[in-house]
Structures are given as C-alpha cells and as structure tokens.
Amino acid sequence: ILDINNLEHGEPGWRNVPTDADAVLDRAVEVCTALALQRNMRIVVEKQSPHTWVDADADRLNQVLINLISNAIKYNDADQPMVEVRSRASRDAYIFEVADNGSGIPADQGVLIFEKFARGTQGASSAPGAGLGLTISRQIISRMNGKLELVPSRSGGACFRITLPPSAHPEARPS
C-alpha cells in the first residue's frame, strides 16, 4: 500500500536512465525460475533484439517483470503449464510480452484487473496477494513513458504487453 501511495504522489528519487532492457528481463526470469520449477512449469524466453536500451528505473522494471511472470506462474491452470516471455524492438518501441497457456482472463475482467485491490478469478484463485500488483505495475510503466496492457494471447491464456520507448541516449541506440 505504501508503494502505490508513493507512486501516486510522485516517488522521490525516481530516475529513468539508459537501461539494457534484456538484462533486466534475464534477471527477472532468473528470480522466477525457482517458483516455476516448484510448479513443474517451463519458462520459455524468446528475445528478438537483445541489448536494446530503454530509459527506465532498472529495479522498478525488474519489479514489474517479476510481478507479471510470477502471476503467469501462480494463476496458470493448464495441464502442462508454460510461461512464454518474449521481447522485441523496433525503431519506436521496445516490447515485452509475458503469456501463459492457462485458461486466461475472462473478457469482463480485462479492465478490472488493473484496478486497486482487484483479483482475477482464473486458475489458482487461492494464490496470495492484495490485488495491487497490476495497479502498481501499470503506474511504474507509465512513469517510464510506457504502456502495460492485457492483449490477446497466441496460447489461449493471459498475455500482458509492456511497450516502452527506446532510449534516446546516443550510446544506447540499438545496433
């Protein structure tokens, strides 16, 4: 609750700096691997443009990615559960996607899940949490001039997409 309060009222010391987005993604996947193994689940990572730079707070971006990946693990109710983490870059956007192959999020909950204290009802609905993770994540990404949204999934489950502008820093341009 303190975290959301700080974000809503301007967190002091926030600095978006050129950040290797895929290095942050690797760190988040590493943190979530143990949880996936506990649940006999695979995390598949697909990076199309490694070492693309975005202006971000690396720790906060890591927090968002861990939240999305751990949610995909906790709420996945597939018989052979899997989480796909994808990244790609273009000249005007860097995109992360976190998708699972579970039953997905009902259409009527797609907007509500980003509200404070909202909890999804799919999958392992007894998963612990206060219903603030997606609200906090969306605000963090907004502070990075990006967007977090629920999008249609290739695998039938839930798919969350983060879109961030690439860094304008001359040394951080994609090759």
Locate 16 and state its tokens.
Answer: 């978006």
Rounded to 5, what percent of the chain is helix, strand, coil? 35, 25, 40
Q: Name, in order, each residue with C-beta under 8 angstroms of 36's C-beta and a sequence gap of 6 or more.
A: 42, 43, 73, 83
98-145 pLDDT per residue, tens: 999 999 888 787 777 877 656 555 444 455 555 678 998 999 999 999
64 has a pLDDT exceeding 90: yes
Residue (of 131, 165, 159) closest to 147 by Cα position? 165
- Pair 85, 96: CB distance under 8 Å: yes
Q: What are phi and psi of 96, to 5 degrees?
A: -110, 140
Element (H, E) at 74: helix 58-74
Query: What pTM was estimated for this model as a whole?
Result: 0.85
- Looking at the DSSP bridge assignments, the partners of residue 47 are 87
The pLDDT tens digits for 3-50 are: 555 555 566 667 899 999 999 999 999 999 999 999 999 999 999 877
